[in-house]
Amino acid sequence: MADFETPVLGEYQVIPHLKRDTMAGSKPYVAKPDHQKALGFPVELVPDWENVAVKKLGELVAQSRALQVFLDSCVKCGACTDKCHYYLGTSDPKNMPVARQDLLRSVYRRYYTFAGKFFPKLVGARDMTKDVLDEWYTYFHQCSQCRRCSVFCPYGIDTAEISMAARDVMDAVGLGQKYSNEVIGKVHKIGNNLGLPGPALANTLEGLEEDVKDETGVDVKYPVDVKGAEVLLVTPSADFFAEPHVDGLIGYGKVFHQAGISWTLSSHASEAANFSMFIGSHSNLHRAAMRIREAALDLGVKRIVVGECGHAWRVAYSFWNTLIGPFDFLDQKYPIPQHICEFTHDLIQRGALKLDRSANDDKVVTFHDSCNVARASRMGNMPGGQFIIPREIIKATCNHFYDMAPETIGESTFCCGGGGGILTDELLDLRIKGAQPRMQALKQVVDEYGVNHVAAICAICKSQFTKVLPYYKFPMDMIGSVHGLVSKAIRLDAKN
Amino acid sequence: MPITVAGKTFETDEEGYLANRTDWSEEVAKEMAKADNCDLSQNHWEVLNFLREYYEEYQIAPAVRVLTKAIGKKLGPDKGNSKYLYELFPYGPAKQACKYAGLPKPTGCV
């Protein structure tokens, strides 16, 4: 483990005293020319970038009434100031949501409001300068776009939208973030975040079939590119590659097997994630999502199910219809798209799965609500379904479940600290500190109920937990997939 | 920050991954490990060699499960798990081992 100053967990969450500029040195690597080019962005800071940036900002505000309202309506009430996990974990006042917004709002005021044009000093308006751009690059990459602040803002101002706009402007002038842009480039070129080519995917899935056969004696299939399958499953490529993600993928396959529903993955759309959302790039968002529509049409499937990925579910649930719709070629009897948790929950309710809770008796489980599922989407046909359904699945697969404190779950959930394009090693210090509020809430249920397992439905959360748990003296394998629990509990080929 | 091995200098990215895979040699791997205070044992080499073979065939590092299974077959079932790989490569088997093996860093939500 690299050496970082890890916040000390106390008895309860403390709102820290301000430490000005303590995170001023935290910034991600800058995208290389190749990464920029692949996404249609200038390869380096363009000449006259100040005017390009201001013009781009004006376009974004003109295109999005929401963005304009967010920039115009803040009254500095302060309700958001102690709601951001990065502020709570780092004490840097620029990580207060209002301060983060003001980094961009000050420029907007200068060029697009009457008062800012004529009396900039009176209204906190700033010229677009290199210092301002650098500050944007630093602090808009300390926002995981988790939207927790927006829940507490009386005007519903969404810092995520402002952070996306800032990143969009930065890309437009040639200052991109390496992590996100490299990943998006790989989706365009190869079809997934990892850059996992078709043959490697097939080899990996064959290996899983062997493993499941060894473990259960049952021939569970993990099919890819099967034309005429009922369901296309799109899932984050981390499910193929990483642990504990892969346990979730194994679980999905067992559920499909047990339900007797034919399904397939696609080597063309071997990624549910769409990092283009993190950088606010509509054109890249569209291009990456389009692979999924193409795959669904090409394979002739009737349904699309989305695996455990937080922001992918936001993109699918909230954007797909207008982005890559209409989906008139899919079976209209089922939700379009459908979350794997909805899919499994439905089968459980209908008694189609035989689950043995005692298989998870070694675990005392809690559930981490992932931001984009919690605050930017829904599941099922009831309000709050995105909170209820995963918990119902967990309770059907284990005997010991305890929620973390109510102000840290559901729509008030704390981010894992790695979302929104932050899950990169050079930001590890920020990630560790940003995880503090979640770790604090976790500690409470560990101490009180003996919780030893955190289930999640987001690939980023799972990787982030694996990395930061040890810094807080928790075991790294304490994090798991919800469908990892299903995988353990399911009794294959058993009849009810 | 380029890496210098036996008088030759090779280009790397910000995190020390080789820019050109063809620049790799066992000495490069040893030098990288030395910088992390890591002594490469025979078991480390089993992992690095497997990574390189797999990459040669598939143009990508193997998934963690593929790797643990292969290592379990080579070094014994008690070593075919990610816990053991983390003992060998405490910075994370996927990333640290790929770096020493001269492969690009795995990207995405990993």
Distance, CA of A25 to CA of A235 (rounded, Å): 35
With beta carbons under 8 A apart, name residues in chain B contacting A309.
Answer: 109
Residue B109 forms part of a structural domain: no
Residue B100 has pLDDT above 70, yes or no: yes
Nearest CA in chain B to A235: B109
Residues B22 and B55 in one domain: no
Q: Which residue of A has its CA nearest to B62?
A: A241
Q: How many CB atoms neighbour CB B60 within 10 A?
A: 23
CATH number for the domain that contains residue B76: 1.10.10.370
Helix axes A65-73, A97-112, angle to 10 degrees: 100
Q: Do B66 and A207 touch (CB under 8 A)?
A: yes
Whether B38 is catalytic: no
What proportion of chain B, given as a percentage, has pLDDT over 70? 100
Q: B69: which chain A residues are within 8 Å (Cβ-Cβ)?
A: 207, 211
CA distance A415 to A429: 15
pLDDT tens readout for residues A300-353: 999 999 999 999 999 999 999 999 999 999 999 999 999 999 999 999 999 999
Do B64 and B82 belong together in one domain? Answer: yes
Residue A494: the pLDDT is 57
Say yes or no: B54 and B79 in one domain: yes
| A231 min Cα distance to partner chain B (Å) | 24
Please give the residue range of the domain that contains residue B11: 3-35
Q: For chain A, what are the domain ranges?
A: 33-183, 185-402+451-489
Q: How far from chain centre, in Å, is Cα A329?
A: 28
Is it the case that residue B94 has pLDDT exceeding 90?
no
R_g of chain B computed on alpha carbons: 13
Nearest to A85 by CA among A437, A368, A461: A437
Predicted pLDDT at A447: 98
**Phi, psi angles (nearest 5°) of residue A453:** -150, 130
Q: Which of residues 208-237 of A touch B (CB under 8 A)?
A: 208, 211, 236-237
Average pLDDT of chain A is: 97
What's the ipTM? 0.96
Q: List all residues 6 or more positions away from A51 whose beta carbon is below 8 Å from its beta carbon.
A: none
Four-CA torsion A66, A72, A77, A83, nearest 10 degrees: 40
The CATH number of A33-183 is which of 3.40.640, 1.20.58, 1.10.286, 1.10.1060? 1.10.1060
Residue B101 bridge partners (DSSP): none
Contact B63 A195 (CB under 8 A): no
C-alpha B54 chain-centroid distance? 12
Tens of pLDDT, residues A349-404: 999 999 999 999 999 999 999 999 999 999 999 999 999 999 999 999 999 999 99
Token pair listed for A198: 């078709």
d(CA A248, CA A309): 11
Please tell me the distance in Å from A203's CA to the nearest CA on chain B.
Answer: 9
- Shortest Cα distance, chain A CAs vs residue B60, angstroms: 6
Q: Counting Cβ atoms within 10 Å, is residue A370 exposed (0-12), middle (13-18) or buried (19+)?
A: buried
Do B96 and B46 sit in the same domain of this protein?
Answer: yes
CA dist., res. A237 & res. A462, Å (int):
13
Do residues B72 and B95 share a domain? yes
Is residue B110 one of the residues assigned to a domain? Answer: no
Task: Tell whether B88 is covered by a domain.
Answer: yes
Q: Are both B89 and B54 inside the same structural domain?
A: yes
Under the banding of pLDDT at 50, 70 and 90, the label for residue A223 is very high
Q: How many Cβ contacts (< 8 angstroms) between chains A and B? A: 87
List the structure tokens of B108: 């995405």
Q: What is the pTM of this model?
A: 0.97
H or E element at residue A169: helix A159-172
On whether both B25 and B47 belong to a single domain, the answer is no
CB contact under 8 A, A200 and B108: no
Nearest to B64 among A1, A197, A242 (CB): A242
Active-site annotation holder among B19, B56, B109, B110: B109
Identity of the residue in B69, B82, B106 whose CB atom sits nearest the CB atom of A243: B82
**B46 and B31 assigned to the same domain:** no
Q: How far apart are CA A232 and CA A261, in angstroms?
A: 11
**Domain check: are B74 and B24 in the same one?**
no
CATH number, domain at B31?
Answer: 3.30.1420
Rounded (10°) CA dihedral A66, A70, A72, A75: 150
Tens of pLDDT, residues A15-57: 999 999 999 999 999 999 999 999 999 999 999 999 999 999 9
The percent of residues above 70 in pLDDT, for chain A, comes to: 99
Is the per-residue pLDDT at B102 higher than 90? yes
The answer to whether residue A3 scores a pLDDT higher than 90 is no
**Is the pLDDT at A495 greater than 70, yes or no?**
no
Tell whether B21 and B59 lie within a shared domain: no
Domain count, chain B: 2
pLDDT band at B1 (very low <50, low <70, confident <90, very high): confident
Is residue B27 located within the same domain as residue B72?
Answer: no
- How far from each other are the two terminal CA atoms of chain A, in whole angstroms? 47
Q: Tell me which residues of chain B have a C-beta less than 8 Å from any C-beta of chain A.
A: 14-15, 58-60, 62-66, 69, 82-83, 86, 90-92, 94-95, 106-110
Burial class of residue A153, CB neighbours in 10 A (0-12, 13-18, 19+): buried
pLDDT tens profile B26-71:
999 999 999 999 999 999 999 999 999 999 999 999 999 999 999 9
Residue A60 CA to residue A363 CA, distance in Å, equals 48
Same domain, B73 and B91: yes
Helix/strand/coil (H/E/C) assignment for every residue in chain B = CCEEECCEEECECCCCCECCHHHCCHHHHHHHHHHCCCCCCHHHHHHHHHHHHHHHHHCCCCCHHHHHHHHHHHHCHHHCCHHHHHHHCCCCHHHHHHHHCCCCCCCCCC
